[in-house]
Structure 1
Amino acid sequence: MTTVPVAHRPVSPVAGPIEVVSPLADGRSGVRIVITPDEPVFAGHYPDFPIFPGVCILECAHQGALATAPEPVALTGVDSARFSGAVYPGDTLTIDLVWRRTEDGWQCRAAAATGNGPAASLRLRFATADGGAR
């Protein structure tokens, strides 16, 4: 029997597109996503009172970080995640990103908010294609 490798596309629980509103400049960038009522996660996450799950906010920050990274990177860890407010269908989630070079790659701090106030603060760790060597 011969096995053939199959290229897999990354799987995401978030269907909507991430829009870069502030390209990377001086270590800062910004993205946003409109959380539409037809996001697939709403089907099973409190059907009578849908709330965008925290893991989806984290995924939006991850996608936004990849879209604005200072160089090609890959997520290696979530150093912290603090969820402080709910995100509902119809909200626009904005995420401010701050990049900092570390000894072994990059750290990205993300502050997510809606028109109702803060939603989450996250610290993500990324490796570079060269493993962080400088």
Structure 2
Amino acid sequence: MSKLDNLYQLDDLRVVDTSATAKITINKDHIVFDGHFPDNPVMPGVCMMQIIKEITEKITEKTLFMQSASNIKFMAIINPFKTPKLELQLEITETDEGYKVRNTSKFEETVALKSTSNFVTK
């Protein structure tokens, strides 16, 4: 079970070598959207980073801790009522300490988030 308690559902996960594509559906009724924001729900950036971590953990079969993140670019608002279906493209490279993950998250053809994160194994 996700630490985000049903914030999203993993609909499909395809992994080829170091590339992965995950398709998820955001739960528009999740409590996080009551506070972020009541009349204009927006997916919190920290939740997107957690989703990336959780999917990477599923792929690597390791418990991970985010060591650092860089080049985080939020390029479009993710509104769970308008665009609940997201596609996350992950490029996962093993490092001496863990994994480097380059991410591009999008809905339809719109890129919503680009980031690079370094995870260490716990």
Structure 2 counterpart of 1:57: 48
Counterpart in 2 of 1:119? Answer: 112
TM-superposed deviation, 1:56:
1.4
Question: Deviation string for 1:7-34 (max 9, x for gaps)?
Answer: xx97437622223421x22201111221
Offset, 1:47? 1.0
TM-score normalised by the chain length of structure 2: 0.82
Percent identity over the alignment is 23
CA offsets per residue over residues 29-50 of structure 1, 9 Å max, x none? Answer: 1112212320211111121111
Give the aligned partner of residue 57 of structure 2: 66
- Identify the residue that residue 25 of structure 2 maps to in structure 1: 34
- Greater C-alpha Rg: 1
Supply the AA of the counterpart residue of 1:78: S
TM-score, structure 1 length as denominator? 0.75
Instruction: Give the distance between the partners of 1:115 and 1:20, measured in 2 at CA.
Output: 15
- Aligned pair 1:12/2:37, yes or no? no
Q: Which runs of 5+ in 1 are unaligned?
A: 1-8, 130-134
Q: Which runs of 5+ in 2 are unaligned?
A: none
Q: CA RMSD in A?
A: 2.2
Number of aligned positions between the proteins:
119
Residues 67-104 of structure 1 deviation map (CA, whole Å, 9 limit, x = unaligned) = 112x5241232322221111011421110110112232
Residue 96 (structure 2) aligns with:
103
CA shift in 2, pair 1:128/1:37, >3 Å: closer
User: 1: CA distance between counterparts of 2:21 and 2:2?
Assistant: 22
